[in-house]
Amino acid sequence: MNESLKCQVLVVGAGPGGYVAGIRAAQLGLKTIVVESDKAGGTCLIRGCIPSKAIIHAADRFDSLRKHSTEEGHMGLSVSGEPEVNMSALVSWKDSIVERLNKGVEGLLKAAGADLIKGWAKFDGPKSCNVRTSDAEIRIEAENVILATGSSHIDLPFMPCDEEFILSSTGALDLDKLPKSIAIVGGGYIGLEIGCALAKLGTDVTIIEGMGSILEIMDKEIRRPLELWLKKHGVAVHTDSLARGAEMKGKGASRKVELYFERDGEDHKVKVDKILVTVGRKPNTKGWGLENMGLRMDSSGRFIRIDRKCRTSIPGVYAIGDVSGEPMLAHKASAEGEMVAEIIAGHKREFDNVAIPAIVFTEPEIVSVGLTPNEAKERGEEVIVGKFPLAANGRALSLEAEKTGGFIRVTARESDHVILGIQAVGSHIAELHGEFVLALEMGSLLEDIAGTIHAHPTMSEAFHEGVLKTLGHAIHIS
Amino acid sequence: MGNFVFKLPDIGEGVVEGEVVQWHVSLGDKVAEDDSIVDVMTDKATVTIPSPVAGVVSSLSGDVGDMIAVGSTLLEIDVEGSGAKSESEKETTESEKAEPGSKAEEILEPEPIPEPEPIPEPKSSIDREPVNEPEKQDLEVPSKVQSPSSRSVLASPAVRKRAREAEVDLGSVRGSGPAGRVRHADLDAFIAAGGAISGAAPTSYHEKRTEVTPVKVVGLRRKISEQMTISKSRIPHFSYFEEVDITELESLRKILNATKDDNQPKLTYLPFIMLALSKIMPDHPECNALFDDDNGVVNRHSAVNLGIATQTDRGLYVPVVKHVESMDIWKAASEMQRVSGSARSGSASLDELTGSTFTITSLGREGGLGATPIINHPEVSILGIHKAREMPVVVDGQILVRRIMNLSSAFDHRVVDGADGASLIQHLKRMLENPALIFM
């Protein structure tokens, strides 16, 4: 069966960029088609942010249970017997969450009036494509196209993922059995998040990082509590180390994989149950006819080039999310998707955000919004910086959130006290970031935050205190 | 699909590079054969280069303002059908090489430059800046870096949204909030005042203006800039002024205009001056010359090819009337009108814009007593003519009202001595004051 469709907005990809664009475009009364070959939700929802957060939460629970199941217990609470991990049950629980969200997204698209077509789009011109579905070939001609094709895992050519012994993040979130040991190649946020979770579940974790330190995107001070946690929990971290290859060892149930890596010119190896490769992600620019659209790529040649309205070099063709540039973050894609739908509907919009927050869900969690003190100085700003430790926050103590050595750091311009950036590290700190971004978007001064009552007892008081500290008069720290 | 690589053709006259002035196509555009692709400005002229093939543009080289060397790739076009690549590539290379002179005209078909790029189908989107403008694009990256820069306007998202909808540039609104933050009230006040007064509480109606508008010097402007720099830095100019009594010339001009045939052009002073110059140049060969100063040779020309400096919407052009010595007054007048007309309309050919041996610039439609015109390198002389006006003049002890025109001239003192320059102007003065001499 072949049919031919016309629409005002064609969205390619139903990830956090595409589905938001689709819902918003349909809300605005535009005839909208969203094409997705997998389940709606994208990497984020199906095999990224959400699944990993579910497993991280479960791992955290397990870690607590273990403390309570020791002989002396913990907080006066003890559990008899060893807690156990049933990995396949844990993965099904995670899958149930993914399933709910996936159905939720599909329901939202439908309710808004957007058509979701399951199939693979292949463009033969800037605004026309054929979509191969399970039983048909559908021709779509669109007035506007929103490319939201996302990104995917980067393989190491000398040890490609088989998802059995050598895993990508997708495989690592779908394990049927908890590995006794794992080597993670790439100490970026994806590898570290999964590494922390597996370490909490009891896996021996080794991290192989090519750079001089893990999580290079964050500054040293912010990284420190995470590095300490990894050390304390027996995670071996090899920096300045390059993976050189992997080889299968043993047979049957005892089959393992040996990872070879090079450090300071010396060869090392580690024998593990699994290897996880998290060396980065690449924009999905192949296999869907990009080459037939004639779009201009950016200066790196990796991403589709866009302007502040997410317009590509061809009028009426937009690109959002991971395929159009860094930072590759779901919330950036969603913001762009919403914006582009409104631009197509005739609204005056532009990507003018002050900050795109970045969060790493390791133990402890790490948040960065706006500039770090060094970045601000590099831009020629005279800054004042204040830091407030969670150890001086009552609520953090009651949550044991201070144990990971966390703090909130505020950077402001010295001359007018405009807040330029906020970084925070600590258990449970991620949920505080909303106030940080809001402060930046609103153009807040230190005095704005200082003059806002923060409820006691909450961890958000630590932000208030961090600001007071920057002003030179914190209350709960001398 | 074959890939056709289009290189900047050799457009003759020793042109070695061209500046991209405007693209008429974007990546992915379908082009038909002979569709305009790009405007390229060379030393001599701006030419619109048409597409030699039909296909889809698959790559563009060079942004507006970039210099592209002759022979380097300008763009690539995906051509339908296989084998198109080698064939068409070969074809152009050959035709480029064939006869640069005659071929040039075919390829070059000059057109007015600033045909604003058609804003493509903005049915639904508000396209104010086309995406393929590189300057705009440069903003893209910093905007996404997570930071309030010191330059950015401090305002909440709601205020920013309102400003965008009202098409107000927040940078021009004075914020009354702390650290200059723009509040809703500031925006209200700005809009209520029609955008005239910035800020909620203006303290003075004589605001200091601090805005600086950068204008990129590209295209013709850059050419003019380079040419003027060469002229003024290499040539030691000496200037010479004179006033000419053109009362007689004026009566002759009036008679000729009153009695001319309908198909003859109306005469201004310029054709008379052109003709007079052509008549006297054999006596002043040092002034009708091109100085090849790199090789230390002055080429004195017997032909009198007069460049006529012409102000156009796009800037200064100097179209050339060639062999004025072979013309009568009517021919000189019509040729002058024709070439300056094509310069104004942008349709002047390379040939019409090159080859002058002496330049005349009319400085005085609005008035002005004198000027120091800059020589059109590698020429050695330039004549500026000013607006004629009635003046009281003493003639034989009596004050008479006479029609007076001022002349400003400049000469390359390296090869034209003061006396020689003065001699040319005095000779010209004699001719113009006794116009019968022009026709003898």
- Assess whether pLDDT exceeds 60 at residue A21: yes
State how far residue A344 is from chain B, nearest Cα, in angstroms.
5
> What integer is the mean pLDDT of A182-201?
97
Interface test with B, best of A375, A442, A446 (most B CBs within 10 A): A442
Tell me whether domains A2-50+90-152+282-344 and A358-471 share a fold.
no
Question: Among the options A456, A464, A473, A476, which is catalytic?
Answer: A456
d(CA A263, CA A237): 12
Determine the distance in angstroms separating the CA of A294 from the nearest CA of chain B, rounded to an integer. 4
Chain B contact probe: residue of A309, A324, A342 with most B CBs at under 10 A: A309
Residue A369 to residue B157, Cβ atoms within 8 A: no
Who among A344, A353, A441 is closest to B156 (CB)? A441
Instruction: Please give the CATH number for the structural domain made up of B2-108.
Output: 2.40.50.100
The partner residue sitting opposite B27, judged by closest CB among A294, A311, A326, is A294
Q: Give the model's pLDDT for residue B110.
A: 39
Nearest chain B residue to A412 by CA: give it: B148
Whole-number pLDDT of residue B122: 35
pLDDT computed for residue A393 by the predictor:
95
3-class secondary-structure state, position A49: helix
The angle at the Cα of B287, spanning B284 to B288, to the nearest 5 degrees, equals 95
Contact A144 B57 (CB under 8 A): no
Q: CB B180 to CB A416 under 8 A?
A: yes
What pLDDT is stored for residue B33 in this prediction?
Answer: 78
Does residue B43 sit in helix, strand or coil? coil
Pick the CATH number of A358-471 from 3.30.470.10, 3.30.390.30, 3.40.50.300, 3.30.70.20: 3.30.390.30
Query: What pLDDT shows up at residue B89?
Result: 40
Cβ separation A296–B132 shorter than 8 A:
yes
pLDDT in tens, chain B (440 residues): 577 777 776 655 556 677 888 888 888 888 887 788 888 877 666 777 778 788 888 888 778 878 777 777 788 888 765 433 433 343 443 334 434 344 333 333 334 434 444 444 333 333 333 444 433 333 333 333 334 444 578 998 888 988 888 888 888 888 888 888 998 889 888 888 877 544 444 444 566 777 788 888 887 788 888 889 999 999 999 999 999 999 999 999 999 999 988 888 899 999 999 999 999 999 999 999 999 988 999 999 999 999 999 888 878 889 999 999 999 999 999 999 999 998 888 788 878 888 999 999 988 677 888 999 999 999 999 999 999 999 999 989 999 999 999 999 999 999 999 999 999 999 999 999 999 999 88
Of the residues A348, A381, A433, A445, the best mutation for testing chain B's interface (the one with the most B CB atoms within 10 Å of its CB) is A348
Residues of chain A with Cβ-Cβ distance to B160 below 8 Å are: 352
Residue boundaries of the structural domains of chain A: 2-50+90-152+282-344, 166-279, 358-471
**Residue B129: per-residue pLDDT:** 39
Question: Domain A166-279 - what CATH class?
Answer: alpha beta
The interface residues of chain A toward chain B in range 145-164, judged by CB-CB distance below 8 A, are none
CB-CB under 8 Å, A348 with B124 = no
Instruction: Write down the domain spans for chain B.
Output: 2-108, 236-439
pLDDT of residue B111: 41
Cβ-based interface (< 8 Å): residues of B facing A? 26-29, 56-58, 120-127, 129-132, 136-137, 139-141, 143-144, 146-150, 152, 154-157, 160, 164-165, 167, 177-181
Per-residue pLDDT reduced to its tens digit, B218-263: 877 888 888 899 999 999 999 999 999 999 999 999 999 999 888 8
Q: What average pLDDT does the structure give for chain A?
A: 95
- A306 touching B (Cβ < 8 Å): yes
Cα–Cα distance list, A373 to A386, A387, A412 (Å): 10, 11, 8
Q: pLDDT digit string (tens) for A422-478?
A: 999 999 999 999 999 999 999 999 999 999 999 999 999 999 999 999 999 999 988
- How far is Cα B277 from Cα B438, in angstroms, rounded to an integer? 9
pLDDT exceeds cutoff 70 at A401: yes
B417 is known as an active-site residue: yes
Task: Determine the residue type at A220.
Answer: K
Smallest Cα–Cα separation from B383: which of B248, B298, B284? Answer: B284
Q: Which pTM value belongs to this model?
A: 0.61
Which residue, chain included where needed, has tokens 């770090």?
A: A372
Task: Kindly report, residue by residue over A82-138, the tens digit of the pLDDT.
Answer: 999 999 999 999 999 999 999 999 999 999 999 999 999 999 999 999 999 998 999
The listed CATH number (3.40.50.150, 3.40.50.300, 1.10.10.410, 3.30.559.10) that belongs to domain B236-439:
3.30.559.10
**DSSP states along A140-174:** EEEEEEEE---EEEPPPTTS---SSSEE-HHHHTS
pLDDT tens digits, B161-201: 888 888 888 888 888 888 889 988 898 888 888 775 444 44
pLDDT band for A334, please (50, 70, 90 cuts). very high
Residues of B in contact with A315 (CB under 8 A): 120-122, 125, 127, 130-131
A439 touches chain B (CB under 8 A): no
Indicate the helix (H) or strand (E) that contains B74.
strand B73-79
- Can you list the positions of beta strands (E) in B270-387? 289-292, 297-300, 306-312, 315-317, 320-321, 358-362, 381-385
Tell me, what amino acid is at A463? F
Of A144, A417, A445, the CB nearest to B124: A144
Among A298, A314, A328, A420, the strongest candidate for a mutation testing the B interface, having the largest count of B CBs within 10 A, is A314
Over residues A253-258, the mean pLDDT reads 90
Q: Which of B237, B301, B323, B413 is catalytic?
A: B413
Query: Which CATH number is A2-50+90-152+282-344 given?
Result: 3.50.50.60
Give burial (CB, 10 Å; 0-12/13-18/19+) of A36: buried
Q: Do A296 and B27 touch (CB under 8 A)?
A: yes
Q: Any CB–CB contact under 8 A between A440 and chain B? A: yes
